[in-house]
Chains A and B, each alone.
Chain A
């Protein structure tokens, strides 16, 4: 169809394979490779290769979305792990091979978009091309002969075509002595098809660029907040933080979020689903500099937008409040510690570390059961996620907590290798079991432990992603471009009126598809029918 298309596009003229190619120089080879890269066949190959290359990332856990799965894989498959790891299978979507495929695909794409855009820009400003000498072999060819004026028939055809949204151009050829005169209108419509096509492909590049640049300026962080506690948007107040490549700490706008209350609602009536969560609501008060305090409710599908970030409610659980006193009754430790939920009924695990104030460093590991129930084995479990009969069981260890080594330690783990169990299944004293309001003596006369109350905690994800507006814009352009690029037909239609020697006029109608156009023949037939009826002509068989 046009030189702007790759040579192996179905609408391009076939190349004669028997032509002997001249010897290529360096530039010639570069041009050859560029042609190869921007050919349809290469684009198709890269597309299918991309689909294929995406598969391993769905079969094997990915570091980005499931880091624990990767660790588990290492444990389960110690032989295979190093091989896959060296092939970057655990980082499939940032791996060299996956990146090369999509980058090549995008280079190929850009190599296609640019010449086509230039060509289309020119086409948009040019007039429809000359009417071909013979229309008989074109789509929907219809001829009618009758008594009518050739010039005015073409004029009325032009008016009709214009009304149908065609761009038109008249090509009159007045009679030259002996020959008869002919008048024709050349019309084209559906330029939006190519525009849509180019918008679609350009928007794909736009998405890639937005993700690459925007992601580098963004960040995400997590923070667990217990009821009554505050979160301040400074680097040190995050539990974990993942900055983009170009992140700077002054990207963080100052604000404060206080978790006033966390409410979880559970199904109580439907016997098939008792205990299933039906709603989570985190009631917060937000404070920004120079602004009044405002209250908000963060829900699972309803993040809070504040200070250029979005705050998402990701998880929740219970945080038992515990006070530890020395033998004299002085408070040495007091906190509400988040216990991490392990099942749907919120059986939760938590760790308490008391480094100072007692005769020895003390570590406590244990379970919290919001509604304690006994298993047939005698072990406890939780029977319902709400606080119907809360019980806390703790094993106690003394010795080195390992906090003095200067190495960061997870607050959710206790390394008991260098510690002695003083209460629990391996000690003389059974595990400590407490209900809210109860106080117990710690073994070895270390002091006392009091379980005062149970609070809720919520875990928040805080994100800033400056690219997402751009990504969304391009995504909408993709959809719009796809729609116009696939469903608007691009077609040329010609109407030609030839004066015959006997004084009659022959009207000819024909069309040409430019790209997929299954309804072209119908369209030409419609145009011919409407026009000939308007002129009072009958179609000759």
Chain B
């Protein structure tokens, strides 16, 4: 029974990866089309329209005569990309659930399980965020990133389902790790937006020259505001991760803080993002400088999960392989 569920989970993972590959190609085609001198000119910047749509709907309520355009048209490749992403994500979630049932516990207590769940949650957050703001232009980045991560983890770190060691038999595993991944998802989106913000700011500084697809995206200030709001959510989750981790450490190891390597890096990441939030409120630091902090912060999150897990010695070692 265990074996079949586990195998089914693995089949679902590979299927999801194939579908994600199609999604990634479609997202990239969409970006490329945006760069090309479009035969069907996009009437107005997509993001700007999306940004204003909230206000226009209100003006409608106020019975203004403002003519309202329909929602911005999605390109065919974008529609395909989103369709593939949703399908891939469903398969991905099925893989997580099957592995969880096979194991009998939340399946994120080793490197493979964590990568499997983390990428599923990141794609899930990416899909959900679309209801709030149109960030589909990050699709190539998010899906590409998750595909690469999932692929590397499956090839290099796949381990068979094993019983939960006593040290991890705690409800805090579910809470602490799950919220850490949620925080990571928001940092990933924020880091991506900050990167696009830097490109956009450079393009704006050059008077509009540079990569053409950027002209179809929101302006640098708008990108910065979006990144800031996503990272705030990530920061709250990360703070909770830190506290929940300390509570669990107190239960399991008898001390809530011991400067274990993983604790150190969680603290470093927290401090970088605290710096990011302060940078937004410091004259001379808004704009590209704070964007760099967001990118460094997300890089530190990735470092914490990959290099620290694999090469640093610490109490979190058994989450390694």
Contact = CB atoms under 8 A, between A and B. Distances in A.
Interface residues of A: mostly helix, strand, loop or mixed?
mixed
Nearest to A301: B170
Interface stretch (B10-18, B72-80, B258-266): B258-266
Interface string B261-287: 100110110011011001111111110
Interface stretch (B26-34, B55-63, B137-145, B210-218): B55-63
Given A10-B280, A267-B163, A65 B246 contact: no
B162 A276 contact: yes
Contacts of B54: 522
A50 B253 CA distance: 26
Contacts of A11: 281
B312 interface: yes
A78 interface: no
Contacts of B281: 9-11, 40
From A44, A276, A279, A479, residue with most partner B Cβ within 10 Å? A44
B209 interface: no
Contacts, number: 171
B254 A528 contact: no
Interface of A: 8-12, 14, 40-41, 43-44, 47-48, 50-51, 54-55, 57-59, 61-62, 64-66, 69, 92-93, 142, 211, 220, 267, 270, 272-273, 276-280, 299-303, 310, 312, 314, 461, 463, 465, 468, 471-472, 475-476, 478-479, 482-483, 486-487, 516, 518, 521-522, 525-526, 528-529, 532, 538-539, 541
Given A65-B259, A277-B166, A301-B251, A528 B161 contact: no
Interface string B298-317: 00000000001000111100
7 contacts: A48-B293, A55-B264, A58-B264, A471-B246, A487-B232, A522-B58, A529-B61
A50 B159 CA distance: 37
Nearest to B61: A529
A8 B255 contact: no
Nearest to B282: A40
B164 interface: yes
A208 to B, nearest CB: 12
Contacts of B235: 482, 486
Given A54-B264, A483-B236, A273 B166 contact: no
B313 to A, nearest CB: 7
A270 B166 CA distance: 16
B157 interface: no
A215 B1 CA distance: 50
Contacts of B286: 10
Contacts of B167: 300-301
Given A9-B283, A300-B166, A47 B160 contact: no
B268 A51 contact: yes
A301 B252 contact: yes
A50 B271 contact: yes
Contacts of B313: 61, 66, 69
A10 B290 CA distance: 13
A486 B236 contact: yes
A526 B258 contact: no
Given A54-B264, A276-B163, A478 B239 contact: yes
A27 to B, nearest CB: 26
B256 A468 contact: yes
Nearest to A62: B259
